[in-house]
Amino acid sequence: MASVESATYPDTDPTPPSDASTIAHEWVTSFNQQVLSAPNYACVSHLFFDESYWRDHLCLSWDFHTFHGVQNITSMLEHSLNAKACMLISIAIDGTAPSREPKLAKLDSNGEILCIQAMLDLKTKVGGGRGVVRLLKDSKDSLWKAYTLYTSLQSLDGHAESTKFNRPSGVEKRKEGSEPAVLIIGAGQAGLLCASRLKQLNVSTLIIDRNERVGDNWRNRYRSLILHDPVWYNHFPYLPFPETWPVFTPKDKLADWMHSYAQSMDLNVLNSTALTKALWTGIGWEVILTTTFPNGAVRTRTLRPRHIIQATGQAGEPKIPLIPGMSLFRGPLSHSSHFRGATPNGNGKHVIVLGSSNSAHDIAQDYYNNGYDVTMIQRSSICVDPTRYFKGKGLYTEDGPSTEDADLLSYSVPIPVLKRNEIEGTRILEFQHKEFFERLRSVGFLVDSGPDGAGRKLKFLEKGGGYYIDVGASALIMDGHIKVKSGEEISSITAHSVILTDGTELPADEVVFATGYKSMKDTARNIFGDKVARELKDVWGLDEEGELKSVWRGSGHPGLWFAAGNLALARYYSRLLALQIKAVEEGWMSSA
């Protein structure tokens, strides 16, 4: 899979501007006049660099796109404006708060390039939006031009969210037996957040989940699991964590919060329920749901939703290798998804953990802390991030911008520009923690710097895994408390040992496969069958423009959507997915 190319910076005049606000307002005026009101395509080069990016989420079309360079931006505008397909009408400087007004900001990780950054208010044919422009001064013609422009739909005319001054006067009674327009499979963070966004747009939604309670997808995981991202990064929409919330959230605390969130947001959730049959009729779905009650009774129900959101997790079914001799093994052998925690007082029992990403490290650390002799089998290199995010992460801090503004600024960065920043940031990280990485490598642990040196964030976006945010296991590896065998696989298993591809035999009383998961597309095939799966595009990873493939956007099959990612990703993109579904319901866009 080809990696997204890293951005290049244009040749610019580094002289600080005398008045950032005036320059930003003048650029916006020129943009409105020369691009939107009375298009003059020859003037695009006066507003953008050859190296520029315009990232758009649902303002130019009902999809996600990133256009690179004057030629591509001009071609896009000519096509969409001539076809009257462009939904964007005008942009304006957002002056609703001092923090949103034009200001100087760092463009690169080194802080060597300063830009004028301005938040924008947008008007489209269907609703309102927000955006961000970052301006640099061209060294060739001394014009201020946009290096990055981001436009994002945030609301639909006539369908305002029921928040703040528009909040409901009471609680709407749920109609028993009513048909939902949307069925969401999975009550994890992606499913809950999609449901809460759809509820605000008055789209009837039902969530189903195999688990007995909302939050069990976290509650049933290993006991030592704690979120590696800080609280400011993980807020839920409409109902942020309280000010007393810990920086790093234990999994049971998150599970309980998800349960209370579903109740507080009046979400319609049906637990202990599976989708046992799904048929696309050409205009919607006909599905059979099976609910199992505590007494063993089973009830089936047929529904006809127009949309299904598969929110079963970024990963699919557990990927368990088939290794000769597995049936001979006398001890516990499990996948990390089924691991609940090490039994206390291991008394030196030997544990083999196959894998080396986040879960593998957490599980190995848990075993060591409970007195086991632990060996990690590392099949390939990973990214390791030694940063401790006690005070926050990027824009997400106690004294940073609001969560909505932080999200806007974060997602306004086109992925090629993000990659350039992450390459710079990874170099800085590896220099600042040089001893840390040297010690890891000295014990044979395989460390990489991510795609083209862009670190773990790009590895997450491109591959969905292959990294570890250190919360203590790295020191145990450096000190030899967790042993590592790198670049090897398990070739066979005996009753009390594993044999590696290099012939090494390691004693084993327990084995855990932290070997990852199949794709969401594989899960979709299991749920909907081969006919539907053949129409689906690839799910997850980045397309040639740097946008996520098929997640939060059209899947390739009408009426079927994918929702996945961490809390921050789900918080931002759930609104965009809800807007698309509402647009389909209103007849403004097609679903595919």
CATH of the domain at 122: 3.10.450.50
Same-domain status, 308 and 335 = no
Helix (H, G, I), strand (E, B) or coil at 292: strand
Same-domain status, 305 and 364 = no
In a domain, 241, yes or no: yes
Q: Which are the contacts of 164, defined by CB distance < 8 A and separation ≥ 6?
A: none
C-alpha distances in angstroms, 124 versus 86, 121, 127, 233? Answer: 9, 10, 5, 29
The structural domain count of the chain equals: 3
Asked if residue 488 lies in contact with residue 502, where contact means CB atoms within 8 angstroms, the answer is: yes
Same-domain status, 63 and 192 = no
In a domain, 236, yes or no: yes
Same-domain status, 343 and 466 = yes
Q: What is the largest CA-CA distance in the chain?
A: 78
Asked if residue 235 lies in contact with residue 403, where contact means CB atoms within 8 angstroms, the answer is: yes
Identify the residue whose tokens are 């050409």.
Answer: 282
Phi/psi for 290 (5° steps) reads -120, 120
Same-domain status, 351 and 303 = no
Tokens of 252: 């049971």
Same-domain status, 289 and 397 = no
In a domain, 125, yes or no: yes
Among candidate residues 376, 395, 373, the one with its CA nearest the CA of residue 384: 376
Same-domain status, 41 and 138 = yes
Same-domain status, 311 and 344 = no
Q: Rounded to two decimals, what is the model's pTM?
A: 0.94
Same-domain status, 505 and 529 = no
Please give the chain's pLDDT, 592 residues, in tens.
567 999 999 999 999 898 999 999 999 999 999 999 888 888 999 999 999 999 999 999 999 999 999 999 999 998 887 767 789 999 999 999 999 999 999 999 888 999 999 999 999 999 999 999 999 999 999 999 999 999 999 999 999 998 888 888 877 776 666 799 999 999 999 999 999 999 999 999 999 999 999 999 999 999 999 998 999 999 999 999 999 999 999 999 999 999 999 999 999 999 999 999 999 999 999 999 999 999 999 999 999 999 999 999 887 789 999 999 999 999 999 999 999 999 999 999 999 999 999 999 999 999 999 999 999 999 999 999 998 887 788 899 999 999 999 999 999 999 999 999 999 999 999 999 999 999 999 999 999 999 999 999 999 999 989 999 999 999 999 999 999 999 999 999 999 999 999 999 999 999 999 999 889 999 999 999 999 999 999 999 999 999 999 999 999 999 999 999 999 999 999 999 999 999 999 999 887 6
In a domain, 4, yes or no: no
Same-domain status, 567 and 423 = no
In a domain, 545, yes or no: yes
**What does the alpha-carbon distance between residue 362 and residue 385 come to, in Å, rounded to a whole number?**
14
CATH code of the domain containing 380: 3.50.50.60
Tokens of 78: 């000519």
Helix (H) or strand (E) holding 407: helix 403-411
In a domain, 5, yes or no: no
- As to burial, measured by CB atoms within 10 angstroms (0-12 exposed, 13-18 middle, 19+ buried), residue 495 is exposed
Boundary (domain end) residue, out of 461, 484, 513: 513
**What does the alpha-carbon distance between residue 376 and residue 307 come to, in Å, rounded to a whole number?**
43
Same-domain status, 430 and 559 = no
What amino acid occupies position 338?
Answer: H
The string of DSSP codes covering 519-584 is -HHHHHHHHH-HHHHHHPPP-SSB-TTSPBSSBSSB-SSTTEEE--S-HHHHHHHHHHHHHHHHHH
> Per DSSP, what are the bridge partners of residue 549?
none
In a domain, 164, yes or no: no
Alpha-carbon Rg of the chain, whole angstroms? 25
Same-domain status, 483 and 430 = yes
> Hey, CA dihedral for 152, 156, 159, 164, is it positive or negative?
positive
3-state SS track over 106-171: ECCCCCCCEEEEEEEEEEECCCEEEEEEEEEEECCCCCEEEEEEEEEECCCCCCCCCCHHHCCCCC
Domain range for residue 351? 326-513
In a domain, 408, yes or no: yes
What amino acid occupies position 268?
Answer: N
Asked if residue 377 lies in contact with residue 352, where contact means CB atoms within 8 angstroms, the answer is: yes
